[in-house]
A and B are shown apart, each in its own frame.
Chain A
Amino acid sequence: GAVVSQHPSWVICKSGTSVKIECRSLDFQATTMFWYRQFPKQSLMLMATSNEGSKATYEQGVEKDKFLINHASLTLSTLTVTSAHPEDSSFYICSARGGDRGSQPQHFGDGTRLSIL
């Protein structure tokens, strides 16, 4: 159980392109999803919290107009990197948790490796 699917796995595109990443919870309803960014050999940096039916909450320093998040259903959240530039190249990972109890673990998608040329 607790499977999270993230698509696509790899994206290579030109500078200025907008890229959409999907995160789906396959066998449970995810009231909350999280989007992380991870640089090589570093920890996970939380970018934003996505709540179904409401606006995402962004962490300090994360541009909400740059990283658009939509959580339209209990099983799907999307992250759109708008007008991507080489500095946006990174590993983006989503996670999902069901229920409202704060102690529930997060289940991660496989991640998306984004390379902007």
Chain B
Amino acid sequence: GQQVMQIPQYQHVQEGEDFTTYCNSSTTLSNIQWYKQRPGGHPVFLIQLVKSGEVKKQKRLTFQFGEAKKNSSLHITATQTTDVGTYFCAGPARGGGNKLTFGTGTQLKVEL
């Protein structure tokens, strides 16, 4: 079945360091979405990428969709304590129905 894996599973950084999480799908995706879940909270939509090789930026966050549309990355420049949380990528599930398959997630901890 379709699998969406993310690495690393956990990442501890010092405030000010950069952070990157990688998302890899076993199948080609028509689009990829990124969500952030704060500890104890619910996932919040960050962005959607649609085009092959697309790059989008949101302040310190840079999102990239791979040329083959099977992988994606999220890079945070100069992390802050407010970046703490788990970052999930998600792509349309096989079989349609507007379902999403969520990645395994990367938990980010930022230390002062």
| Contacts from A to B (Cβ < 8 Å) | 32, 34, 41-44, 46, 49, 57, 93, 95, 97, 100, 102-111
Contact = CB atoms under 8 A, between A and B. Distances in A.
Interface string B100-111: 111111010000
B27 to A, nearest CB: 15
Interface string B28-61: 0011010000000111110010100000000000
A97 B100 CA distance: 11
Nearest to B4: A43
A34 B99 contact: yes
A57 B97 contact: yes
B96 A102 contact: yes
Q: What is the size category of the interface that chain B forms with chain A?
A: 20 to 34
Interface of B: 30-31, 33, 41-45, 48, 50, 88, 92-93, 96-105, 107
B97 to A, nearest CB: 6
B33 A105 contact: yes
Contacts of A95: 43
A8 B62 CA distance: 35
Given A43-B104, A49-B97, A108-B44, 13 more contacts: A41-B107, A42-B105, A43-B102, A43-B105, A44-B43, A46-B99, A95-B43, A102-B98, A103-B48, A103-B92, A104-B98, A106-B45, A110-B41
A4 B88 CA distance: 19
Nearest to A110: B42
B42 A93 contact: yes
30 contacts: A32-B98, A34-B99, A41-B107, A43-B88, A43-B103, A43-B104, A44-B43, A44-B88, A44-B102, A46-B99, A46-B100, A46-B101, A46-B102, A49-B98, A49-B99, A57-B97, A93-B42, A95-B43, A97-B98, A100-B98, A102-B30, A102-B98, A103-B48, A103-B50, A106-B45, A106-B100, A108-B43, A108-B44, A110-B41, A111-B41
